[in-house]
């Protein structure tokens, strides 16, 4: 019998990471944060001084990507022996990742790396194309979203709590820009799988979303 997979796709800031990690912990399953692979590739490409428009060069960096994921309360990501976790969450990293993610050759290289996370007893996979492309045979698929205004507000609060200066208008603009790029690209655009459950977390507390997903998978 194949290893069960739960996919949680949706736009950035919808709470996929928090919900996926919590569900993986409750079920005792592995966790794949596919966005962090694209983000790590953006960091590796910058370290190699690679032009993001040079498809062959970025693809080569993707082929040689040496990543280790350490799952604790937070995810730690090691690139070539160096802890890159602090750089992963930067807005500039997310921006570069979404440019790289539009390249079909890069997505082809990263496909197998993501599928390798499927190990017993199960996997929770979080991203944009988990249910549509990477794990189309997942036992349960969720599309988790929230309004751009709500996602921007959450991101703004997170930054302020960390003592980082932030501008709500600018964050809203960046989120809308990223949504547009992720939805309009030709290669595996952000889209809801036909057989996915739709959850709008705009007005739902995160605990309710987790409970709902656990109910679905059970
Ligand atoms: O989920 P995130 O914000 O960490 O993702 C960073 C970027 O990576 C996002 O803009 C789109 C891309 N991405 C993707 O194309 N496919 C995925 N499965 C996950 C992320």
What are the pLDDT digits (tens) for 47-104? 999 999 999 999 999 999 999 988 777 789 999 899 999 999 888 898 899 899 999 9
Q: Which atom of ligand 1 is nearest to the CA of 39?
A: 6
Q: Ligand 1: residues within 6 Å at CB?
A: 12, 34-35, 38-39, 94, 97-98, 101, 127-129, 178, 182
pLDDT tens for 185-211 read 888 888 899 999 999 999 999 999 999
> Residues near 70 by Cβ (< 8 Å), separated by ≥ 6?
76, 77, 78
Distance in angstroms (rounded) separating the CA atoms of residues 30 and 121: 8
Write out the residue range of the structural domain in which residue 146 sits: 5-217
Number of the ligand 1 atom closest to the C-alpha atom of 134: 18
pTM, to two decimals = 0.91
Rounded Cα–Cα distance for residues 198 and 192 (Å): 8
Q: Please give the number of the atom of ligand 1 that sits closest to the Cα of 98.
A: 10
* Number of separate domains in the chain: 1
Probe target for ligand 1 pocket from 5, 10, 34, with the most ligand atoms within 8 Å of CB: 34
8 A C-beta contact, residue 77 and residue 88 = yes
| Structure-token pair, residue 126 | 């979080």
């Amino acid at each position: 019998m194949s290893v069960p997979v739960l996919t949680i796709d949706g736009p950035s800031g919808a709470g996929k990471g928090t919900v996926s990690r919590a569900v993986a912990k409750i079920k005792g399953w592995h966790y794949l944060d596919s966005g962090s692979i694209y983000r790590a590739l953006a960091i590796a490409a910058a370290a190699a001084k690679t032009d993001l428009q040079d498809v062959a060069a970025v693809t080569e960096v993707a082929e040689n990507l040496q990543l280790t994921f350490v799952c604790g309360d937070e995810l730690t990501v090691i690139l070539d022996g160096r802890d890159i976790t602090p750089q992963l969450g930067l807005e500039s990293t997310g921006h570069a990742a979404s440019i790289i993610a539009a390249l079909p050759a890069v997505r082809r290289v990263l496909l197998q790396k993501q599928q390798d996370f499927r190990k017993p007893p199960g996997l929770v996979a979080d991203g944009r194309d988990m249910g549509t492309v990477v794990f189309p045979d997942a036992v349960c698929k969720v599309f988790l979203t929230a309004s751009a205004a709500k996602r921007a507000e959450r991101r703004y609060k997170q930054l302020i709590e960390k003592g980082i200066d932030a501008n709500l208008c600018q964050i809203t603009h960046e989120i809308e820009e990223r949504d547009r790029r992720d939805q309009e690209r030709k290669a595996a655009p952000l889209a809801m799988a036909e057989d996915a459950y739709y959850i709008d977390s705009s007005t739902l507390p995160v605990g309710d979303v987790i409970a709902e997903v656990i109910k679905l998978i059970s």
